[in-house]
Amino acid sequence: MELEEHYGQLLGVKSPWEIASVDLKMQDQRVDIVIEYTDDQGPCPECGAICPKHDNRKKRTWRHLDTMQFSTYLYCEVPRVRCDTHGAKTVAIPWAGKNSRFTLLFEAFAIRVLTAARSVEEARKLLGLNWHQTEAIKARAVQRGLARRKKTNIRYLGIDEKQFRSGHCYMFMTSFISASTSMTRLIRCDARRIKHSSVKVMSGSKEASLPGYPTKRMSVRNLSNNSIAGGHGSEAMAASPR
Ligand SMILES: [Zn+2]
């Protein structure tokens, strides 16, 4: 029981979820952890109402961070609840995102490896993932990041052109620059050459708000004319009229 409690604490699994068993397979260098749902009711993932348990879905597997050199996998028959409004729904699990086969901790680690590696291919090999899994982890991380963003007034925009792969292939980056922290945050990324582009700045971006700039589209030439600082291949523009 000590081992189950130990893994329960490491995974942050709390009631009504419970570590039912931990199977250490020395020969396969693998740890299999089974998680169970112990309550007979649960929250509807759509409306949050507490509903009676309906049934269990078939057993699913998630890859977790390795325990030392041992591959670690979680298993659970995730329950469904019957909501009067939304019908039978699978309850949200605390250790992984919807439709992911990896735990949130593994995905966070994978993103750190991806940002530190010289290429996606290098990170993919280090993590033991295939290309599809790597792309899915990246896409979910972007979705989580975008969901956390809040609408803010943007005073300074960073405009930059980055070479992508080899040859004359460029990505056009538009970033929000915080004057107080000097931090930048990517807002848009367009696969066009800067001098041929008419850039759609802010349009459709839920976090962006440009007071005093009702225009949705600005040409690169107009952005350049308003620049307040810049260098080779990059410019910054005051987005505020003040
Ligand atoms: Zn509901």
Same domain, 200 and 120: no
pLDDT along the chain (242 residues), means of 10: 76 89 90 94 94 94 90 95 95 91 93 93 93 94 85 77 76 78 76 53 49 43 41 40 39
Same domain, 233 and 200: yes
Q: How far is the CA of 237 from the centre of ligand 1 (A)?
A: 47
Same domain, 197 and 128: no
Q: How far is the CA of 35 from the centre of ligand 1 (A)?
A: 24
pTM value surpassing 0.85: no
List residues bridging with 208 in a β-sheet.
152
Same domain, 156 and 143: no
Domain that holds residue 116: 2-147
Same domain, 47 and 114: yes
Q: How far is the CA of 92 from the centre of ligand 1 (A)?
A: 12
Q: Check residue 200 and give its pLDDT.
A: 54
Q: How far is the CA of 121 from the centre of ligand 1 (A)?
A: 42
Helix (H) or strand (E) holding 31: strand 30-37
Same domain, 7 and 115: yes
Residues 4-26 as b or e (16 or more Cβ within 10 Å = b): beebbeebebeeebbbeebeeee
Residue corresponding to tokens 């057993």: 59
Q: What does the angle CA 79 – CA 85 – CA 86 come to, to the nearest 5 degrees?
A: 45
Q: How far is the CA of 158 from the centre of ligand 1 (A)?
A: 43
Q: How far is the CA of 45 from the centre of ligand 1 (A)?
A: 7
Same domain, 98 and 18: yes
Q: Give the end of a domain, one of 116, 147, 178.
A: 147
72 close to 30: Cβ distance less than 8 angstroms: yes
- What is the distance between the alpha carbons of residues 81 and 40, in angstroms, rounded to a whole number? 9
Q: How far is the CA of 80 from the centre of ligand 1 (A)?
A: 11
Q: Check residue 111 and give its pLDDT.
A: 94
Q: How far is the CA of 94 from the centre of ligand 1 (A)?
A: 18
Q: Check residue 144 and give its pLDDT.
A: 87
Q: How far is the CA of 87 from the centre of ligand 1 (A)?
A: 7
Q: How far is the CA of 104 from the centre of ligand 1 (A)?
A: 24
Q: How far is the CA of 39 from the centre of ligand 1 (A)?
A: 18
Same domain, 95 and 186: no
11 phi and psi angles, rounded to 5 deg: -85, -10
Q: How far is the CA of 108 from the centre of ligand 1 (A)?
A: 30
Same domain, 125 and 195: no
Q: How far is the CA of 145 from the centre of ligand 1 (A)?
A: 26
Q: How far is the CA of 207 from the centre of ligand 1 (A)?
A: 29
Q: Check residue 151 and give its pLDDT.
A: 75
Q: How far is the CA of 149 from the centre of ligand 1 (A)?
A: 26
Q: How far is the CA of 77 from the centre of ligand 1 (A)?
A: 20
Q: How far is the CA of 137 from the centre of ligand 1 (A)?
A: 28
Same domain, 131 and 225: no
Same domain, 142 and 181: no
Q: Check residue 202 and give its pLDDT.
A: 52
Q: Give the end of a domain, one of 103, 129, 147.
A: 147
Q: Give the end of a domain, one of 96, 115, 147.
A: 147
Q: How far is the CA of 101 from the centre of ligand 1 (A)?
A: 25
Same domain, 70 and 84: yes
- Number of domains comprising the chain: 2
